[in-house]
Structure 1
Amino acid sequence: MRSGELARAAGVNPQTLRYYERRGLLAEPRRSPGGHRLYPAGALTTLRVIKAAQRLGFTLDEVAELVDLGIHGHGRRRDTSLQRRAAGKLTEIEARIADLRLIADSLRAALDAGCDDLVTCATSERCPALPSLWPSSRPA
Structure 2
Amino acid sequence: MQEMTIGQLAEAAEVNVETVRYYHRRGLLPAPPRPIGGIRRYPAAILTRLRFIRRSQSLGFSLDEVEALLSLQDGQACNAARAIAEQKFVDVRQRIQDLSMLEVALATLVQRCSTSKGKVSCPLIDTLMNGDELTR
- Shorter-normalised TM range: 0.7 to 0.9
| TM-fit CA distance, 1:37 | 2.0
Aligned to 1:3: 6
Between 112-121 and 5-14, the greater mean CA deviation after superposition: 112-121
* Deviation string, structure 1 residues 38-65 (Cα, Å, up to 9, x no partner): 1111000000110111011110011011
1:70 correspondence with 2:73:
yes
CA contact (8 A) 1:69 1:81 kept: yes
Q: Which has the higher contact order (CA 8 A, sep 6+)?
A: 2
1:121 correspondence with 2:124:
no
Identity %: 38
CA contact (8 A) 1:109 1:128 kept: no
The answer for unaligned runs of 5 or more in structure 2 is 117-121
Change beyond 3 A, Cα 1:36–1:121: same
1:52 correspondence with 2:55:
yes
CA contact (8 A) 1:3 1:38 kept: yes
Q: Give the partner amino acid of 2:134.
A: A
Number of aligned positions between the proteins: 125
Q: Give the partner amino acid of 2:76.
A: G
CA contact (8 A) 2:108 2:135 kept: no
* SS across alignment from 1:25: coil
The answer for unaligned runs of 5 or more in structure 1 is 132-140
TM-score (norm 2): 0.81
Q: CA RMSD in A?
A: 2.2
Cα distance in 1, alignment partners of residues 50 and 128 from structure 2: 47
Cα distance in 2, alignment partners of residues 123 and 5 from structure 1: 51
Cα distance in 2, alignment partners of residues 31 and 87 from structure 1: 40
Q: Matches of residues 1-140 of structure 1 in structure 2 within 5 Å?
A: 1-71=4-74, 74-76=75-77, 78=78, 80-114=79-113, 116=122, 118=124, 120-121=126-127, 129=134, 131=136
Cα distance in 2, alignment partners of residues 121 and 21 from structure 1: 46
CA contact (8 A) 1:30 1:39 kept: no
| TM-fit CA distance, 1:123 | 8.0
